[in-house]
Amino acid sequence: MSGTVLVTGGTGYIGGEVIGQLLAKGYTVHTTVRNKAKSEPGLRERWSDADDHLKVFQADLQSDEGWAEANAGCEGVIHVASPIPINAPKNEDELIVPAREGTLRALRFASDAGAKRFVQTSSMAAIAYGRDDKVYTVDESDWTDVNHPDVYAYVKSKTIAERAAREWVDATGTDMEFVSVNPSMVLGPVYSGDFSASVELVKQLLDGSMPMAPDLGFAVVDTRDIADLHVRCLEEPGLAGERFMAAGRFMKALEIGEVLRNGLPEKQARKVPTRRMPGWMVSVLALFNPGVKQIKAELGKTRNADSSHAKERLGWKTRAEEETILDCAKSLIEHGVVKV
């Protein structure tokens, strides 16, 4: 397979993996970064043999500058770039506005350039949140209720951005086919000390900053498998309007910690917590820590995800969650993010 594809957010956790898989299949890849002078050397080092098959463009989600050049000659676009913070923003619009406007900007320039397929990296956050139930299962037919009091800024931003994208496609009547991929918590190997906020849980379990594990969990999925699903969505014909849940098994923090203790040498896993944090302690921490406050409503919930549609329609497969977690941990240690 060959052709030219734009991948937005090339320095990101998922974006980088998508670029690597596309280059391996013979594509020419354009990618956008916020600061070309700062980011291009690292991208060139990671794919040192890519030469002219990798072209880097400077473009920001909140500005038109650079987007036309980045899209020129691209048959497809995989739009990964979106803000994802480690800490809660002071104002939710710090996330919502760039996520929504950046997605609409990427759509508009892709359509204007004649792209045939647009794959958006959305999120399970756009599907599974805003419910009072403690245990439930979701699939692509579900949508997060952004008006629910427990829905925080990041979840709102992903939901609003995907809805805005679908509304734009319907309203404009563009010939460009739109598909979304909705991953759960993405783990797997990191390639530098600059990593996604989704990896923060594993980092904190390893480095001792989480001496007890809150009653919190996520469906786990591997970044390599997510990238593979994006490429399948780019290549498979007849996917206009499709939506693909991309998730593995739901795992509580304490269960992820058990995988780390069982799979790593004792020295590397010695700080991993073995006890659950009492709910009252989380409530106290939430008074002083905005990040804890925004996840307080997550405690005790089990959000299972049904990814059978992606597996049946696209032949998508996921590796074992244990492999994903351990590869993530080993790479954090290798890159010096976690000192052991």
More confident: 289 or 303: 303
- CA 250-228-235 angle, to 5 degrees, is 130
- Indicate whether 340 belongs to any domain: no
The mean per-residue pLDDT over the stretch 302-324 comes to: 97
Tell whether the model's pLDDT for residue 85 goes beyond 70: no
Does 1 score more than 60 pLDDT? no
Give residue 279's pLDDT band: very low, low, confident or very high (50, 70, 90).
Answer: confident
Cα distances from 180 to residues 119, 205, 261, 289, in angstroms, run 6, 31, 35, 33
The pLDDT of 277-288, averaged and rounded, is 72
> Is 17 a residue whose pLDDT tops 80?
yes
Of residues 168 and 335, more confidence is placed in 168
Would you state the pLDDT for residue 298? 80
Amino acid residing at 157: S
Is residue 247 situated within a structural domain? Answer: yes
Q: What percentage of the chain reaches a pLDDT higher than 90?
A: 79
Long-range contacts of 62-70 (CB under 8 A, 24+ apart): 62/97, 62/98, 62/101, 62/102, 62/105, 64/105, 64/109, 66/32, 67/32, 67/105, 67/106, 67/109, 68/109, 68/112, 68/113, 70/6, 70/8, 70/30, 70/31, 70/32, 70/109
In the predicted model, what is the mean pLDDT of residues 188-203?
A: 83
pLDDT of residue 102: 95
Residue 55: pLDDT over 70: yes
Q: What is the pLDDT of residue 71?
A: 98
* pLDDT tens track for 224-264: 999 999 999 999 999 999 999 999 999 999 999 999 999 99
pLDDT band at 287 (very low <50, low <70, confident <90, very high): low
The pLDDT score that the predictor gives to residue 205 is: 93
The 10s digit of each residue's pLDDT in 139-162 is 999 999 999 988 989 999 999 999
In the set 158, 203, 252, 271, the catalytic residue is: 158
Strand partners, 166: none
Q: For residue 238, is it left (φ>0), alpha (ψ between -120 and 50) or beta?
A: left
Establish if 19 belongs to a structural domain. yes
Q: What is the mean pLDDT of the chain?
A: 92
Confidence of residue 50 (pLDDT cuts 50, 70, 90): very high
Least confident of 101-110, 134-143, 190-199, 267-276: 190-199
Number of domains in the chain: 1
Sort residue 6 into left (φ over 0), alpha (ψ -120 to 50) or beta: beta
Does 93 map to a domain? yes
Determine how many CB atoms are found less than 10 A away from the CB of residue 328. 27
- Strand 185-187 vs strand 177-183: parallel, antiparallel, or unpaired? unpaired
For residue 29, pLDDT over 70 is answered with yes
Residue 96 is part of a domain; what is its CATH number?
A: 3.40.50.720
Whole-angstrom CA distances from 159 to 100, 126, 128, 230, 330 are 9, 4, 10, 19, 32
Q: pLDDT at residue 275 above 80?
A: yes
Is position 339 within any domain? Answer: no
Q: Is residue 158 among the annotated active site residues?
A: yes
More confident residue, 246 or 84: 246
Choice between 209 and 318, residue whose per-residue pLDDT is larger? 318
For residue 47, the enclosing domain spans 4-334
pLDDT of residue 103: 97
pLDDT band, very low/low/confident/very high, at 282 (cuts 50, 70, 90) = confident
Residue 30 has pLDDT above 90, yes or no: yes
Is residue 20 in a domain? yes
116 lies in some domain: yes
Task: Report pTM.
Answer: 0.94
pLDDT of 291: 58
CA distances from 65 to 55, 60, 105, 224 (A): 16, 7, 11, 31
Most confident of 166-175, 200-209, 295-304: 166-175
Residue 193, pLDDT score: 64
Residue 239 resides in a domain: yes
Q: pLDDT tens for residues 37-47?
A: 999 999 999 99
Rg (CA), the chain: 20
Average pLDDT over residues 102-121: 97
Q: How far apart are CA 273 and CA 43, in angstroms?
A: 36
